[in-house]
């Protein structure tokens, strides 16, 4: 009896689906917004003055189950500072041929340097084009930010940055200081 009803139940699914409203998406002509927490392209974030949050610790690379992340850290110097504290991510690559969008890397990041955006248009016609480096992962410069390298905001320490107390005002001061240094460098 069960053997006899099986095919009928199967056709029942087909029959009921025939009367449902079709859900056709017209991508790429019409782009449907993603869910707010969609796991799209990664982003390497900056502090309010433009210094980079990544400290090159490689925890994201170790957490990645697909071995999609490659990081090389390096030391900041007084002359060339990319992030507060000792280290920064000198080389940062994500291979989107491997990434499965699981988000474990962003959970592992101790400074919230790494987050994911809603951007999903990452197709390409060659493998190398899908290995994203810092030039495509770093967050764009917002108002009050200066591209690294530059000094930390005057009177602040790395801990101030980690605690989030370096705000727009301190960022503007850092900007002024770096401009003064640039001008001083131009003097004979």
56 is a contact residue toward ligand SF4 (CB under 6 A): yes
Minimum gap (Å) between residue 72 Cβ and ligand SF4? 9
d(CA 92, CA 114): 11
Residues 2-41 that bind ligand SF4 (CB under 6 A): none
Question: Which position among 99, 152, 166, 174 is part of the footprint of ligand SF4 (CB under 6 A)?
Answer: 99
Minimum gap (Å) between residue 185 Cβ and ligand SF4? 30
User: Is 114 annotated as a binding-site member?
Assistant: no
Question: Which position among 48, 51, 113, 152 is part of the footprint of ligand SF4 (CB under 6 A)?
Answer: 113
84 is a contact residue toward ligand SF4 (CB under 6 A): no
Beta strands in the chain (DSSP E): 42-44, 69-75, 87-95, 114-116, 131-132
d(CA 138, CA 51): 11
Question: Which position among 58, 90, 139, 149 is part of the footprint of ligand SF4 (CB under 6 A)?
Answer: 58
User: Is 64 annotated as a binding-site member?
Assistant: yes
User: Is 102 annotated as a binding-site member?
Assistant: yes
71 is a contact residue toward ligand SF4 (CB under 6 A): yes
104 is a contact residue toward ligand SF4 (CB under 6 A): yes
Question: Which position among 51, 89, 151, 153 is part of the footprint of ligand SF4 (CB under 6 A)?
Answer: 89
User: Is 60 annotated as a binding-site member?
Assistant: yes
Residue 162 class from Cβ within 10 Å (0-12 exposed, 13-18 middle, 19+ buried)? Answer: middle
Question: Cα–Cα distances in Å, from 172 out to 159, 161, 176?
Answer: 19, 14, 6
Cβ-defined contacts of 61-66 (< 8 Å, 24+): 61/105, 62/108, 63/104, 63/105, 63/107, 63/108, 64/99, 64/104, 64/105, 65/100, 65/102, 65/104, 66/98, 66/99, 66/100, 66/102
105 is a contact residue toward ligand SF4 (CB under 6 A): yes
Residues of this chain that bind ligand SF4 (CB under 6 A)? 54-60, 63-64, 66, 68-69, 71, 89, 94, 99-105, 108-109, 111, 113-114
């Amino acid at each position: 009896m069960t053997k006899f009803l099986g095919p009928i139940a199967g056709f029942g699914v087909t029959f009921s689906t025939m009367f449902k409203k079709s859900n056709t998406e017209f991508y790429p002509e019409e782009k449907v917004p993603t869910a707010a927490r969609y796991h799209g392209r990664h982003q390497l974030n900056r502090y309010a003055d433009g210094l980079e949050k990544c400290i090159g610790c490689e925890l994201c690379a170790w957490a990645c189950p697909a071995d999609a992340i490659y990081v090389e850290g390096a030391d900041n110097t007084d002359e060339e500072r990319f992030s507060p504290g000792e280290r920064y991510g000198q080389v940062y690559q994500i291979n989107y041929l491997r990434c499965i969008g699981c988000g474990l890397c962003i959970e592992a990041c101790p400074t919230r340097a790494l987050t994911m955006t809603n951007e999903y248009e990452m197709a390409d016609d060659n493998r190398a084009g899908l290995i994203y480096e810092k030039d495509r992962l770093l967050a764009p410069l917002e108002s009050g930010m200066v591209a690294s390298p530059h000094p930390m905001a005057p009177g602040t320490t790395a801990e101030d940055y980690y605690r989030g107390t370096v705000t727009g005002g301190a960022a503007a001061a850092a900007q002024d200081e770096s401009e003064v240094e640039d001008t001083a460098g131009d003097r004979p």
